[in-house]
Structures are given as C-alpha cells and as structure tokens.
Structure 1
Amino acid sequence: MKTFSRLLRLSPRRISPKPTTTQQPPLNRRPISSTPRRPVKQAADDPTFTSILDNPPELIRTGGRRHGYGLIVLAIIPVTAFALGTWQVQRLKWKTDLIAKSEDRLVAPPLPLPPRIDPAAVPDFDYRRVLATGRFRHDQEMLIGPRMRDGEEGYMVVTPLEREGDGTTVLVNRGWISKSKRAQKDRKESLVDGVVTVEGLLREPWKKNMFTPDNRPDLGEFYFPDVVQMAQLTGSQPIWVEQTMEPDLFKIYEYQEKGIPIGRQAEVNLRNNHAQYIITWYGLAVATTIMFYILVKKPPTDVTRRVRLNKQW
C-alpha cells in the first residue's frame, strides 16, 4: 500500500490545457459618409401642400386613358362601308339596265352598216348586230396580243375591210389565232381573197389599263385596240366590228389547226359582280358597327377600376 501510494505521488499529473482565447484586434471600420446628416425636408413642411386624400376620387377605366384615334377610325369604317354598299346598289341597277339593253340589241336582226358612222353614236349601238360587205386588206393586218384562249397564247387579228361602192373602210376584229400561226405564210387559208360579207357586233373595244404598255406601231406591236390610232394608220373610219361565228366545237378545232381566226360568240359578256360587292360592303359595315358598340359599351370590371388623381395635384 505504501509503495502504491508513493507511485501515485511520483507519477506526473495529466493536466488538460485550458482553452486560450485570442483577442481579435479591433477592425478599423470606415464610416459610410463623412458628411453630417441634414434634416430631410418633408412635403408636409410646405404650407400649400395638399394631400391626395383631400381630393375627391374619380372612377375610370383601366389605365385612366380615354379612347383615342383608333376609336375614331373604327367609327369611320362602318359609315364608309355603308356608303360604298349603297353606291354598289346604284351600280348594280345601272349594269342590269345596260345588260338588258345590250341583249335587246343582240336579238334584233342584223343591220347593214351605213357608209358613214359617227363614232360618238357607237355607245348607243353597242352589241348591235351589223353586216358589212367588202374586201379584206391583209397587207394592213394588225395583231393585238398576246391574248390567252383556253390557256394558250395567241393574238387577235384586226384587218381593215374596204367596203364596196362607197369606198369606206372599217376595222374588223376577225378573231383569235394561236401564236404558232402568227406569220401569214403559216395560215394562207385565212387570207380570204375577194368580196366577203362579215356579220359581227358593233362594239366599243376594251380599254388600256395601268399594266398595259403603249402600242408600238412602228414595230408592228399592238397590246390593246386603240381604234383612233389604228384608223389613222390604215386610213379607215374609227369603227370597231367584232366578227361572230357559231359555237361549233369541231369547226373551232379546224380553224385553230389551219390558222383561221376564231370569231366570238354573239352574246353579251359584260361582267356583273356588283351583287357580291354589295354583300361585302354591307357585311363589313354591320361587323364594324358591332365591334364599335362592344368597345364603347363594355363595362369596366372591379379589377380594372382605380382612383384617378386630381389633375391639379
């Protein structure tokens, strides 16, 4: 026991080290601003200040904006469409009367063409069937084109007809030929010699549009029938006669193969699309009127309402 106690006294003690705390040096923090603070002036410090709570509120639509120029344009569209629809009604009546008059002239017996014709009177005899007797001046032939027929390119053959007895000349649109038969040597059967009687329609030819080029008579190129110009070149009267023929399919194939001009049918071919235009314009007027009513009368929802500030604030 004494020995054990002695050993305990002689053995070194294990002393756990005490935790040491290291002291951090103070950080040198830089102040945010070295400028001394100034007292902030509030809006309420102004004796003339008026709060928004002192002004009466006003409920408006979303954004507080009134309808601008878009609404004005939308209001003009139905008025314009209605006016155009009414104008097309008048045009429909005019075109219907014109077609009826033309069909009445068409069913009348052919009228011998007088020696002298006033060009100003031609519109009153449009689609009138006439007879003219004389000789074709093939040396003064003119081709107008290109003109399409059943998807094939070709030309309209215009030949002056020198009438017997009075010696006057009129322009005759003999009909259509294919492009392959343009040269006279390729269609000798069409060059009728001797006295012939032509039955056709006294017509006002179609007019030039903005896409049609000008005629070049010096090169023999004609793109539209300028009757006055052609009459001056051939020394004929400015009268246009369109030769007619019966709609015989086998004869048309034969004429096309031989290069004989294919005349037009004796019928009125005036276009009358004014009824479609009336439906289109009136339909647009109704649709835009409904849109205008919905836009103006649509009530604002609770979410889209807000308080508009006084303009003087």
Structure 2
Amino acid sequence: MANCKTGLQFGIKILRRSLHTSPRTSRYIRQSELLKGNKESPVLKYAFLSIPVTTLGLGLWQISRLKWKESLIEELQIKTNLPTINLPEDLSELNDLEYRRARVKGRFDHSREMYLGPRSFLKGGDSTSTGGLMSPGAGGKSGYYVITPFILSDRNLEILVNRGWVPQDQKNPATRKQGQVTQEIILEGIVRHTEPRPNFVPKYQGGNMWSYRNLSEMSTVMGTSPVYLDACVDSDVPGGPIGGQTRITLRNEHLSYILTWLGISAGSSVLWWKKFVK
C-alpha cells in the first residue's frame, strides 16, 4: 500500500511537469491531490479523534453521577429510618429535617380537604404495578394524594398532612366515610419541602386540586403554617387513604448511560485506529 501511494505521488508530479500547459489537466490533478490530502488531513484525523475522547469523558462523568445518585438514595433511606422526633418549636429547623419522621398530636379538618395529583400508588417508597393487600387493585392505577389541614392539640398551629393515596373512584370523601376520623389522634409523618414545578405542568389554577407540591402557596391558600408531612404507613386509618406515600427511591439510569458512552468510545476508537493509524 505504501509503495502504491509513493508511486501515485510520483506519477502526479511527472504529470504536473509534463502537462503544466493544460489548465484542465492541471485542475484535475489539483482536485485529485486535494481529495487525497483530505483523507490524510490532520484536521480530519483529530476531528474524528474527538469522538472517542468526548464519549470517554461522558462515560467517566456518568460514573461519578452514579456514585452520587447511589449515595443520595442511601442518605434518604437512612433519614427515613432515624428515630422519630417531635415537631420542633422553631419551625425554621425543619429546613434541615426533610425526610425525617416527626410526631404530631391533633385532629383533621376534613372540610378543607385538598387533592394532589394524579399520582401513582407507592409501596415501599417506590411505584408498583401490582396490587396488594394494602389496597386491592391499587397497583398500576392512577389516583390522588389527600392533603388535609391538621390542627395540633398542644400548640396553636395548623399544618398540612398528606394522609395518603386514594384511587380516582374514591376521591370523593363520601365514598370513604369510615376513614374520615374526627377524634384526636397521634400521627407520624415524613417532613417534606416544596418540590420544583415539573416542565409543562400548569401553575395552580384555584380550587382544591394541585398538580405539584407547592408548600408556600398551599399553606397560604389553606391558612396553615408552611409545614407538610407525608403520613407514614403505620398511621393509616381503616377505610381511609393509604399512607406511606414518600418516594425514597430515585430514578437511576446512570449505569446504562455509562455502558452506552463507553461503548461508543470503544467502537469509535477502533474505527479511528483502523482509519488513521493502521
């Protein structure tokens, strides 16, 4: 192959010298040399090299993202399993207590019930597509979280409690009268903060329906303090919403991204080596 290239280069030089009086021939030769030069151009060579280098960098970055996501999931699981605390007197302390279990005593004001959704049913901190004993046929269905003002007994304070999930056909409280408890209860819940508004999700339009957890706006509309608890599953009331609707598992697809980027890097490296080195 090297001899062929050398011979071709020598032949072009001879043709250029012998046919330099022919503009058409000279133009043809220049075009041939340009095409050949492009094939071995350093610019083209390094441009192609940028593909395996860039995808390698993306693969290594996804490795760090995977470690970060696994650490975050572990942190959430640890927080939700720490000992239960009483709701602090200084509510600003809640800024550092998201995902901690807190205990409150009081009663619900069902007349101001709100709904957050639609939402899928969570079991064990993650969505499930199978029904279970907790809620016949709940798995895979869409429903709503029931958000109810909770009036504390030991202090002049009202907070918001996500009592849990109900299917669409039980959104109307008349269909679950047994679960509309009026007596004083002790409740344990997970401290939650405001969640970012998802893309393409409309802002609050008024009424008792919410598309996402906007704590400051919800508490203003309901006239409560900006405190929000997800009722734990052991705070369930027979016939009422299903508690334990705190998602403690996060979407983690970084491993597939790692395999994709490193695979592209390896494949393009082989092609580059065959094209420009071998």
TM-score, normalising length: structure 2? 0.72
Aligned to 2:257: 277
Tell me if 1:145 matches 2:117.
yes
Instruction: Write the letter of the residue equivalent to 1:113.
Output: L
1:100 Cα shift?
Answer: 2.7
Q: Which residues in structure 2 correspond to 1:37-52 (within 5 Å)? A: 50=21
| Maintained 8 Å contact 2:164/2:245 | no
| Maintained 8 Å contact 1:102/1:126 | no
Which of 156, 160, 175 is matched with 2:145 structurally? 156
For residues 214 and 65 of structure 1, do their structure 2 counterparts lie closer, same or farther at Cα, with a shift above 3 Å needed? farther
Percent identity of the aligned residues? 30
Which of 160, 173, 176 is matched with 2:165 structurally? 176
Give distance in 1, aligned partners of 2:177 and 2:58: 53
How many residue pairs get aligned? The number is 239
| Maintained 8 Å contact 1:102/1:128 | no
Q: Which residues in structure 2 correspond to 1:147-226 (within 5 Å)? A: 147-149=119-121, 150-204=139-193, 206-217=195-206, 219-226=207-214
| Maintained 8 Å contact 2:87/2:104 | yes
| Maintained 8 Å contact 1:126/1:202 | yes
Aligned to 1:111: 85
SS of equivalent residue, structure 2 residue 230: strand
Q: Which residues in structure 2 correspond to 1:62-141 (within 5 Å)? A: 64=36, 66-67=38-39, 74-118=48-92, 121-122=94-95, 124-141=96-113
| Maintained 8 Å contact 2:113/2:208 | no
Aligned to 1:15: none
1:176 Cα shift?
Answer: 0.6
Give distance in 1, aligned partners of 2:160 and 2:45: 57
1:96 Cα shift?
Answer: 2.6
For residues 191 and 289 of structure 1, do their structure 2 counterparts lie closer, same or farther at Cα, with a shift above 3 Å needed? same
1:267 Cα shift?
Answer: 7.6
Q: Which residues in structure 2 correspond to 1:47-58 (within 5 Å)? A: 50=21
| Maintained 8 Å contact 1:172/1:241 | yes
Instruction: Write the letter of the residue equivalent to 1:285.
Output: S
- Hey, which of these two has a bigger chunk of helix by percent? 2
| Maintained 8 Å contact 1:142/1:158 | yes
For residues 266 and 180 of structure 1, do their structure 2 counterparts lie closer, same or farther at Cα, with a shift above 3 Å needed? closer
For structure 1, which runs of at least 5 residues remain unmatched after alignment? 1-47, 299-313
Query: What do the CA deviations read for 1:103-133 (whole angstroms, capped 9, x no partner)?
Result: 32233221111133227x53x3232111111
1:246 Cα shift?
Answer: 4.9
1:71 Cα shift?
Answer: 6.6
| Maintained 8 Å contact 2:102/2:189 | yes
For residues 293 and 134 of structure 1, do their structure 2 counterparts lie closer, same or farther at Cα, with a shift above 3 Å needed? same
Instruction: Write the letter of the residue equivalent to 1:133.
Output: K
For residues 237 and 288 of structure 1, do their structure 2 counterparts lie closer, same or farther at Cα, with a shift above 3 Å needed? farther
Give distance in 2, aligned partners of 1:188 and 1:74: 68
SS of equivalent residue, structure 1 residue 118: helix
SS of equivalent residue, structure 2 residue 147: strand
1:273 Cα shift?
Answer: 2.8
For residues 79 and 160 of structure 1, do their structure 2 counterparts lie closer, same or farther at Cα, with a shift above 3 Å needed? farther
1:242 Cα shift?
Answer: 0.8
For residues 273 and 233 of structure 1, do their structure 2 counterparts lie closer, same or farther at Cα, with a shift above 3 Å needed? same
| Maintained 8 Å contact 1:110/1:129 | yes
Give distance in 2, aligned partners of 1:171 and 1:212: 22
